[in-house]
Structure 1
Amino acid sequence: MDADDITLPADTLKILNEFLEEKAKREREELERIDKKSNADIMFEEDWQLSQFWYSESTKEALGKLVSKLLDEQENETNVNNYRIALLSCPSLYTTVKQVHNNVKIFEFDKRFSAYGDDFVFYDFNNAEEIGYLQEYKESFDLIIADPPFLSEECITKISKIISNLQKPTTKIVFCSGAVVESWLTNCLQLKKCSFEPTHERNLGNEFVSYANFQLDNYLS
């Protein structure tokens, strides 16, 4: 049977179309309100085609707590103000982190998030091998939190290369992803599996875990 011959039952198709129409309507309304709202207040729907799955409130709260504790460790206010955070492919965390600390960049392929203004950096992990890619951000960040969109060796390897370019020697890294990526990840970055398990608003079939190059669990206890 050709793909063109495959059709959904009428009731299923009706539900799907209603969902997509409602999703598009909410996003249009949200974009119309952007000019009236602060960056931290903007909300977007997940785009499943981009493998986007938003964090649960408990996960956002936990990682917001991490940011607060790391800032508390800074020696003075100047260090706090200069502390730079990069969020790679985890846009649902932006609002939480932005409320804790102002100096944050959101690296995203989805250009809807350009609504966050100067905090937005368009990036495509497929360009990781290009010479000088994201060179303007080389060794710029003190904390990097990443959640790659795909659980594939290619994706993990390329995002790891980007992280290696963005990090300083002292940068703390949190990598949220599936348990299946552990062998690929440890080959690319010096990270260890942690007890903290990120969760999402929707129940996903894969087991999700966290990896870090510091004692992440101690900050979340």
Structure 2
Amino acid sequence: MDNNDETTLPADTLAILNEFLAERSQREHAEEQRQINKTGKDAHFEEDWQLSQFWYSEQTKRTIGNAVEKILAEQSNDDFRIALLSCPSLYATIKNLHDKVNIFEYDQRFAAYGNDFVHYDFNAIDSSSEYLKDHHKCFDLIIADPPFLSEECMSKMSRIVISLQRSSKSKLVFCSGEVVEPWLVASLPVHRCRFRPEHERNLGNEFVSYANFNFDHYIDK
């Protein structure tokens, strides 16, 4: 045989090999997605302090997850949808409870969550009231953790939240610093709750939660 001749497989053998490789690729992708849903891709991401990212503690994720599970148990709406704004470390916990979850993030790394990911910049709300139009009036529960403790951030985040909530009955939960309370309650019909979220790192500011319903009832229930 001429050493320059290329070795080729019979057509049927090649078809079987290609089918095997395709199935293996699908299995690997499915396993990767299962791990994302189970543990959260953020487990492999470092916090970006320049984006004011601070991951919640495991206890806080479990506590919020348990509260959300109780809220979901009360729902008769099959289209109940949840939005997470700037709190990516909650995604895996909430996704394990409910399939209809969108994560709104400025950080493009979280595009790893596929169609659940929505890129957003809270500053863009100034450019148009139609910002994020495809998601207007879509969500029944919105959990937000504004990235910055400023009046401007609270005002813009509140405007986005108002555009996203399905109706005035949509449940809103904010996790943020005590310092933002005057600005937040001036923008949204929320009040401070007893629940205090904690982070993996000890932060200097005191963090609390705010809601437009009795969130503590679901925390304590």
TM bracket, shorter-chain basis? 0.7 to 0.9
Q: How many residues align?
A: 185
Note the alpha carbon deviations across 1:169-213, whole angstroms, 9 max, x for none.
Answer: 210000000000000001100000000000000000000000000
Cα gap change, 1:34 to 1:59, in 2 (>3 Å): farther
Partner of 1:58: 59
Per the TM alignment, residue 129 of structure 1 is displaced from its structure 2 partner at its CA by 2.0
Could you tell me whether the CA contact under 8 Å between 1:156 and 1:181 is conserved in 2?
Answer: yes
Could you tell me whether the CA contact under 8 Å between 1:34 and 1:115 is conserved in 2?
Answer: no
For 1:59 and 1:188, how far apart are their aligned partners in 2?
Answer: 26
Equivalent position amino acid for 1:171 in 2: S
Q: CA RMSD in A?
A: 1.4
Per the TM alignment, residue 45 of structure 1 is displaced from its structure 2 partner at its CA by 1.5
Equivalent position amino acid for 1:169 in 2: S
| TM-score (norm. length: structure 1) | 0.81
After superposing on structure 2, the runs of 4+ consecutive aligned residues of structure 1 that deviate more than 3 Å are 33-36
Could you tell me whether the CA contact under 8 Å between 1:107 and 1:123 is conserved in 2?
Answer: yes
Equivalent position amino acid for 1:112 in 2: R
Partner of 1:19: none
Q: Secondary structure of the equivalent of 1:106?
A: strand
Q: Percent identity?
A: 58
For 1:196 and 1:220, how far apart are their aligned partners in 2?
Answer: 7
| TM-score (norm. length: structure 2) | 0.81
1:92 maps to 2:93: no
1:143 maps to 2:141: yes
- 1:14-163 equivalent positions in 2, closer than 5 A: 36-38=31-33, 39-40=36-37, 41=39, 42=41, 43=43, 44-75=45-76, 79=77, 81-131=78-128, 132-163=130-161
The answer for unaligned runs of 5 or more in structure 1 is 1-32
Per the TM alignment, residue 106 of structure 1 is displaced from its structure 2 partner at its CA by 0.1
Of residues 63-72 and 142-151 in structure 1, the stretch that sits farther from structure 2 once superposed is 63-72
Per the TM alignment, residue 34 of structure 1 is displaced from its structure 2 partner at its CA by 7.7
The answer for unaligned runs of 5 or more in structure 2 is 1-27
Equivalent position amino acid for 2:190 in 1: L
Could you tell me whether the CA contact under 8 Å between 1:143 and 1:173 is conserved in 2?
Answer: yes
Please say which structure displays the higher CA radius of gyration: 2
For 2:178 and 2:81, how far apart are their aligned partners in 1?
Answer: 28
Equivalent position amino acid for 1:207 in 2: E
For 2:127 and 2:29, how far apart are their aligned partners in 1?
Answer: 34
Equivalent position amino acid for 1:137 in 2: H
For 2:123 and 2:200, how far apart are their aligned partners in 1?
Answer: 27
Cα gap change, 1:49 to 1:84, in 2 (>3 Å): same
Partner of 1:22: none
